[in-house]
Structure 1
Amino acid sequence: MPITTCVFDAYGTLFDVSAAAREAAAEPGREAFADLWPKVANDWRLKQLQYTWLRAVADAHADFWDVTQNGLDWALEASGLDGDAELRERLLQLYWELSAYPEVPKMLATLKENGMQTAILSNGSPAMLDGAVKSAGLSDVLDDVLSVESVGVFKPHRSVYDLVGKRFGTKPDQVLFVSSNGWDAAAATGYGFQTAWANRANEPVDRLPWVPHNILSNLTTIPDLAQRL
């Protein structure tokens, strides 16, 4: 069936999760952090994801904001920065104002012009996602923002992907699901969605029972892909 709905992961897909650390490192007086920010950003994101998986399998759900703070605390300690409370607060503040990747606004606008329904499906809490969407100016090009908080478990649990059909009345093969996380796109393939992996870092394909249907370097060609499927 033709694609009617394009659904996007948020963090790392539409929003640049490294932006908070990168922007903090460029501020006056943070010369020491300037040398460490890539490691902090990478550790922060990795632990944030790992904690969602562990909480999902342990049935120990928490708000994504708590998980985000937990991941940052680990990352700061790993770089010897756990005593810098001001830096911690600044990084958390900037996380609510993450930049969208450059191609995102035009890509979403083109999807809407083509008659597609558009949405976010994210581990993020509603408040976090609302802040990111408004900060990036994407409110007018998204039909909805769906959060795992409504089912109380993180991706890749199937109940999260169920949210799309419940909201839009779609069958799985009418949905193009897009994520920068290879494991997320793979799990969505297993669910029955058409999928695209935004593999910005040119990483290997995850060794899972499923693989993404399409692998892209960014989101620029998503409107063309959605019309071809």
Structure 2
Amino acid sequence: MSSSVKGLIFDVYGTLFDVHSVETKCDTLFKGKGKEISTLWHQKQIEYSFLRQLMGQYKPFSEITLQSLKYALNQLDISYSKEEITILMETYKELTPYTEVEDALQKLAHKKLIVFSNGSRDMLEPLIENSPIARFLDMTINVDDIKQYKPTPASYTHALNKLNLKREEILFLSSNGWDISGAKSFGFQTSWINRTRSPIEEVDQKLHYIYQDLNGILALV
């Protein structure tokens, strides 16, 4: 890693934590439907955050997550109770970190380590505090304060303003191609953690680094 990089900003959902670890609980409640629910639920989370951003109708990510879950169940023609909704919403506070994350963060601990997420404070804080990675993190940043979702420039500006660093001193890491595209456009150094082996987004962005998981970053240290 370039010696100019002083801080690493990590996205949370899909980058550090497996959003599809909710699939097991979904399948327990709605047998045989876990994968479908998990996939559509996450897809609608992203769509609704983009849609609300474009409409200028911000809602905290916890509300978006709830609305996305209800949409997914309705789309799949699944009847549900209020209790089942509550159970599934609670699983987002207990997501499983990817297997290499704890060890990688420990090895990167000589750098400033920050997480920055579209997730609302009421979702992020319990998730991180109850995980084994909390002790490695210097700061948690979310978009509640400015009500601007990534990948808007205002959201990345908010994160930058929280740190006493220049944008070129920051390496931004995300598993989401749209997030990496936004961060690269903003001026951060970027590393796409391409866990799903997806193609590069066709938005005229030449990425700095691409790895399948966080272990790739260790080669830059």
TM-score bracket for the superposition, by shorter chain length: over 0.9
Is contact 2:26–2:38 with CA below 8 Å preserved after alignment?
Answer: no
User: Which whole-Å deviations, capped at 9, do the CAs of 1:187-206 have from their partners, x for residues lacking one?
Assistant: 11111111111111111111
Q: Does 1:83 align with 2:80?
A: yes
Q: CA RMSD in A?
A: 1.5
Equivalent in 154, 172, 182 of residue 159 of structure 1: 154
Is contact 1:21–1:38 with CA below 8 Å preserved after alignment?
Answer: yes
Q: Does 1:52 align with 2:49?
A: yes
For structure 2, the 5+ residue unaligned runs are none
Q: 2:18 and 2:26 mapped to 1: Cα distance?
A: 14
User: Which whole-Å deviations, capped at 9, do the CAs of 1:18-56 have from their partners, x for residues lacking one?
Assistant: 11222442x4xx4xx342111111100010000111111
Q: Please tell me the residue identity of whatever aligns with 1:9.
A: D
Deviation, structure 1 residue 164: 3.1
Q: 1:24 and 1:42 mapped to 2: Cα distance?
A: 11
For structure 1, the 5+ residue unaligned runs are none
Is contact 2:25–2:34 with CA below 8 Å preserved after alignment?
Answer: no
Query: Which residue of the partner structure matches residue 115 of structure 2?
Result: 120
1:163 counterpart SS class: helix
Query: Which residue of the partner structure matches residue 20 of structure 1?
Result: 22
Q: 2:48 and 2:208 mapped to 1: Cα distance?
A: 27
Q: Does 1:63 align with 2:60?
A: yes
TM-score, with structure 1 as normaliser? 0.90
Is contact 1:179–1:198 with CA below 8 Å preserved after alignment?
Answer: yes
Deviation, structure 1 residue 102: 1.0
Q: 1:183 and 1:5 mapped to 2: Cα distance?
A: 21
Q: Please tell me the residue identity of whatever aligns with 1:198.
A: I
Q: Does 1:96 align with 2:93?
A: yes
Aligned residues: 219
Aligned pair in 2 of structure 1 residues 205, 199: CA closer, same or farther (>3 Å)? same
**Equivalent pairs: percent with the same residue?**
30
User: Which whole-Å deviations, capped at 9, do the CAs of 1:133-183 have from their partners, x for residues lacking one?
Assistant: 012122210000000112111111111111332222211111110011001
Equivalent in 136, 139, 142 of residue 144 of structure 1: 139
Q: Please tell me the residue identity of whatever aligns with 1:120.
A: V
Query: Which residue of the partner structure matches residue 191 of structure 1?
Result: 186
Deviation, structure 1 residue 84: 4.1
Q: Which has the higher helix share?
A: 1
Q: 1:96 and 1:181 mapped to 2: Cα distance?
A: 20
- 4+ residue segments displaced more than 4 Å: none
TM-score, with structure 2 as normaliser? 0.93
Deviation, structure 1 residue 99: 1.1
Deviation, structure 1 residue 105: 0.9
Q: 2:71 and 2:8 mapped to 1: Cα distance?
A: 34
